A and B are shown apart, each in its own frame.
Chain A
């Protein structure tokens, strides 16, 4: 019983991490990319390595009024990301993780193609387990409804190639700004189901800019505050009589970013919005040390599903290994 509870908790946390991942991605041939994702270490593990590969396929965009607009005819815009993550337990309740993406931009237009690769923006997280879900099998009284709650800050470090590095927009792999987020992940399991909610709110640090493609008169710029939320529901299925498991997860994500500022002045209509749905299927080995997952994050290509942002489909395959 305890082993199975542990399995569910692992699946929930890993899928929670996947959930963070799907909502944290921000990329675009026009708009920067290489966003990181969070990695949450399951209980009883001392460390974990997670490697995933994303393919993000662009298919039109929503303008500032939410009107869906197709990409130019003959275009095929994609970004590939190899994300390498490492999580380390610091104590029973504290853990940290780091994730570094490597980004390939492949933009094909009818006028020509452009390819560029480089490191994306790095994300460092610190997590604290506020509450543990201690009753994953049966609800006997109210306290059994207590979910697991994990909170913590994360810092995005602009290690990618940004629009302020003297490169054209199709070579961008990062946004060029530090960002500090506060995150909370709430998760409740009642075997074989799990429900998770994740919230994140972050602020970019203002910076000076003295270069775009060429050097320009210096100015100060700050991107708008960013908020995201995701809800997910998972079902865990045991494969055969062994301990191997398969977990299916459906999620809804929402991302918002407020208007940016230049020298303290808001830039009208520079904020963004993106709503997406996602599905994940994850396999975990009997000893739970190995996990493999595939995720699809989809945005509906229709009016009102976003604002000022590219419409994309993100396909992810990932593998993780935990060290006890």
Chain B
């Protein structure tokens, strides 16, 4: 509350040691294995392999209006421009793969280009210390380049532009 009554503009981001594993920018991304909405097993480290892969975008959704705004921006503006990037949407509110699949369809993201992950036990949510709208970018070496709210997508675009 005090941060809101008297907001601070100081940069208080902690210093991160390269080579450590964690959710913060500069750390090695925690690996995970999870089911997508079609029942396929998805492993982060496997998704980062392949010569054409530049990186992964991991967006956390609770299927809300703000989430839809963010996801449609990614789908319509970023996916066409940044090939070689895999786009995951982690559904952390559905308790089963079938419910996650239903939400994916209800919200118009069937066949959208997102691979929707059914984070039914919130393991990925916890590993990335995420919440609604959290957007994580991981490069092909497995390093976290971004972990923050989507906002207007400008920072995400800049990071994708600079992916090697």
A interface vs B, CB < 8 Å?
Answer: 28-31, 61-64, 67, 69-75, 109-112, 119, 157-165, 167-170, 174, 176-177, 207-219, 262, 265-270, 272, 308-310
Contacts and interface: CB of A to CB of B under 8 A. Distances in A.
A213 B129 contact: yes
Interface string B1-32: 10111011111111000000000100000000
B69 A111 contact: no
B35 interface: no
Interface residues of B, number: 51
Contacts of A69: 63, 68, 106-108
A75 B8 CA distance: 36
B12 A210 contact: yes
B7 A164 contact: yes
Given A165-B3, A212-B148, A267-B151, A111 B120 contact: yes
8 contacts: A69-B107, A163-B149, A165-B4, A208-B9, A217-B148, A262-B152, A269-B69, A269-B72
Contacts of A29: 62, 64
Interface in B59-117: 62-69, 72-73, 91-96, 99, 102-103, 106-108
A316 B40 CA distance: 46
A158 B1 contact: yes
A158 B4 contact: yes
Contacts of A310: 64-65
Contacts of B62: 29-30, 72, 109, 169
Most chain A CB neighbours (cut-off 10 Å) among B67, B106, B132: B132
Contacts of A215: 11-14
Nearest to A216: B148
A106 B41 CA distance: 32
B4 to A, nearest CB: 4
A119 B148 CA distance: 26
B11 A64 contact: no
Contact of A31 (B66, B72, B147): B66
Contacts of A210: 7-12
Residue from A28, A270, A272 whose CB has the most chain B CB atoms within 10 Å: A270
B94 A111 contact: yes
Nearest to A212: B149
B155 to A, nearest CB: 8
Contact of A308 (B69, B107, B108, B154): B69
**Closest 5 pairs between A and B when the two form their complex, measured CB to CB:** A110-B95, A30-B64, A208-B9, A158-B4, A168-B131
Interface of B: 1, 3-5, 7-14, 24, 62-69, 72-73, 91-96, 99, 102-103, 106-108, 119-122, 129-134, 147-149, 151-152, 154
A71 B131 CA distance: 17
A249 to B, nearest CB: 29
Contacts of A72: 62-63, 91, 93-94, 99, 102-103
Given A109-B95, A265-B154, A63 B65 contact: yes
A154 B5 CA distance: 16
Nearest to A111: B95
A72 B147 CA distance: 25
A176 B131 contact: no
Given A28-B64, A165-B4, A208-B9, A267 B95 contact: no
A119 B69 contact: no
B72 to A, nearest CB: 7
A213 B132 CA distance: 10
B65 to A, nearest CB: 4
A28 B94 CA distance: 18
B4 A214 contact: no
Nearest to B102: A73
B1 A169 contact: no
Contacts of A167: 131
B130 to A, nearest CB: 7
B129 A217 contact: no
Nearest to B134: A213
Given A214-B129, A218-B10, 11 more contacts: A30-B66, A31-B65, A63-B72, A72-B62, A73-B99, A111-B121, A168-B131, A169-B132, A170-B131, A213-B134, A214-B13
A63 B68 contact: yes
A219 B67 CA distance: 21
Given A30-B66, A72-B99, A211-B3, A110 B148 contact: no
Given A165-B3, A267-B151, A268-B152, A70 B106 contact: yes
